[in-house]
Amino acid sequence: MIESHDGALMAAGNDDYLDGNAAAGPLSELFALDVTVARGQCEHCGAVAVLAGARWYPNSHGVILSCSICDGVLLRLVERDGRRWLDLRGLGFLEFGPG
């Protein structure tokens, strides 16, 4: 591994990519937003809708949002022992509008 000028690590011999640390800036800007205003595509039925329109059935397992059309799970957010896990496998994409 090679460290670039901004501290990101690159694989030796291939400078076509940076490691995930390089994405910290853009990702921290994105996740500072209210994600419920984003439009997301359900991986189960293909519907596209704002996450605020999804269904949340509160329980002790954390936040589980389901598609309002097919009830497929869109995302899971679990917090335990000071750690958070975010599972977005139920979303094809999230689209954020301008500020």
Tokens matching residue 84: 């958070």
DSSP letters, 66-99, are E-TTT--EEEEEEEETTEEEEE-TTEEEEE----
14: helix, strand or coil = coil
92 binds Zn ion (CB under 5 A): no
49 binds Zn ion (CB under 5 A): no
Q: Which stretch binds Zn ion (CB under 5 A): 2-10, 45-53, 57-65, 78-86?
A: 45-53
> Could you say which of 8, 10, 50, 69 contacts Zn ion (CB under 5 A)?
69
User: At its nearest, how many Å lie between Zn ion and the CB of residue 68?
Assistant: 8
Q: Which stretch binds Zn ion (CB under 5 A): 7-15, 19-27, 34-42, 81-89?
A: 34-42
Furthest CA-CA distance within the chain: 49
User: At its nearest, how many Å lie between Zn ion and the CB of residue 93?
Assistant: 13
User: How far apart (Å, rounded) are the C-alpha atoms in residues 94 and 33?
Assistant: 12
User: At its nearest, how many Å lie between Zn ion and the CB of residue 64?
Assistant: 14
